[in-house]
Amino acid sequence: MTQNVAEPRPGPTAGKPVTIAIDAMGGDKGPVPVIAGMARSAAKNPDLRFIVFGDKSRLESLISKRKPLSGRVDVRHAEGVVTMDAKPSQVMRNGKNTSMWAAVDAVRDREAAVCVSCGNTGALMAVSMLRLRKTEGVNRPAIACLWPSRNPNGFNVMLDVGADIRADAEDLLQYALMGTSYARVGLGLERPRIGLLNVGTEEHKGRAELKQAYDLIDAAADTARFDFVGYVEGGDIPSSRVDVVVTDGFTGNIALKTGEGTAKLISEALREAFRHSVLSRIAAVLALPSMRRLSKRIDPRRVNGGVFLGLNGTVVKSHGSADATGVSAAIKLAYQLGAAGFHERVKARVASMSHPMQDQGLIGQNNGFQ
Write out the residues near its own copies by the rule CB under 8 A. 85, 87, 122, 148-150, 162, 165-166, 197, 199-200, 202, 204-207, 233-239, 247, 249-251, 253-266, 268-270, 272-274, 276-277, 279-280, 282-284, 286-287, 289-291, 293-294, 297-298
Min CB(87)–its own copies separation in Å: 7
Min CB(130)–its own copies separation in Å: 18
Give the residue with the Cβ less far from its own copies, 285 or 365. 285
Min CB(351)–its own copies separation in Å: 30
Phi, psi dihedral angles at 326 (to 5 degrees): -65, -45
Whole-angstrom Cα distance, residue 36 to residue 157? 27
- Best CA proximity match to 124, nearest among 160, 87, 78: 87
Give the residue with the Cβ less far from its own copies, 295 or 360. 295
Q: What is the dihedral of CA 258, 259, 260, 264, to 10 degrees?
A: 100
Min CB(334)–its own copies separation in Å: 24
Give the residue with the Cβ less far from its own copies, 7 or 274. 274
Whole-angstrom Cα distance, residue 116 to residue 34? 10
Whole-angstrom Cα distance, residue 227 to residue 220? 10
DSSP state of 45: -
- Best CA proximity match to 340, nearest among 73, 3, 5: 5
Q: What is the dihedral of CA 169, 174, 180, 186, to 10 degrees?
A: -120
Give the residue with the Cβ less far from its own copies, 8 or 289. 289
Min CB(225)–its own copies separation in Å: 28
Give the residue with the Cβ less far from its own copies, 105 or 171. 171
Question: What is the DSSP code string of 251-267?
Answer: HHHHHHHHHHHHHHHHH
Say if residues 237 and 255 touch (Cβ distance below 8 Å): yes
Min CB(109)–its own copies separation in Å: 31
Give the residue with the Cβ less far from its own copies, 3 or 262. 262
Say if residues 225 and 180 touch (Cβ distance below 8 Å): yes
Give the residue with the Cβ less far from its own copies, 132 or 163. 163
Say if residues 20 and 334 touch (Cβ distance below 8 Å): yes
Give the residue with the Cβ less far from its own copies, 68 or 122. 122
Min CB(296)–its own copies separation in Å: 9
Give the residue with the Cβ less far from its own copies, 84 or 221. 84
Min CB(78)–its own copies separation in Å: 25
Please give the helix or strand (H or E) that residue 37 lies within, else none. helix 31-44
Say if residues 327 and 62 touch (Cβ distance below 8 Å): no
Min CB(254)–its own copies separation in Å: 4
Residue 193's DSSP bridge partners are 227
Question: What is the DSSP code string of 318-350?
Answer: --TT--HHHHHHHHHHHHHHHHTTHHHHHHHHH
Whole-angstrom Cα distance, residue 273 to residue 281? 9
- Best CA proximity match to 195, nearest among 248, 244, 249, 144: 244
